Structure 1
Amino acid sequence: MNIDSIVKNNLCTGCGVCISEDKSNRAKMVWNNEGFLVPLLDRKSSQDEMIKVCPFSLNQKNEDELGDIFLKERDNQYQDKIGYYYSLYAGYSKEFRKTSSSGGIATYVFKMLLEYKIVDNLFIVKEVDGEYAYQFFSNIEEITQISKTRYTPVTLEKLFQEISEIEGTVAVSGVACFVKAIRLKQMYNPKLKEKIKFVVGIICGGLKSKYYTDYLAQEAGCDSEYSYAQYRVKNEQSYALDYRFSCEEKLNKRIHMVEMRSLGDMWGTGLFKSNACDFCDDVVTELADISLGDAWIDPYNKNGLGNSIIITRTKVAENLIQEGLNEKYLVLERVIEEEILLSQSGSFNHRHKGLLYRIEHASKNGKISPKKRQRYLKKQNLFFNFIQRSRLKTRQKSLDIWLDTRNSSLFKIKMKPYFEDLKFFTLWNHRVIRLKKILFGKSI
Structure 2
Amino acid sequence: MTAGPEGDLSGRRLLYALWDGGGNVATTLLLLRSLADRGARITVLSNESVADRVRAEGLDFTPFLLGPRHDPRTRETDALQLWEASSPAEASRLIRDRVMFGPAEALCQDTLRAARECGAELLAADYTLFGSLVAAERLGLPHVVLMNTIYPLPTERLAGLRAARSGPFTYLFTRMLAQGLPELNRVRASFGLPGLTTAQEQYERADAVVVTCHPSFDPASSSVPPRVHYIGPQVEPPAELPDPPRGPVRRVLVSLSTTEQPEEALLVDSLLKAAALVENAEFAFLGGVLDPGRALPAHVTAHGYLPLEERLPGADLILHHGGFGTTTRALLWGVPAIIFPSFQEQFNSARRIEELGAGAGLRRDSTPEDIAEAVRGLLADPALRPSARERARAFRAEHDASAAARVFAGLRRSAPAAGSPALPRLAGP
TM-score w.r.t. length of structure 2: 0.29
TM-score w.r.t. length of structure 1: 0.28
More strand by share: 1
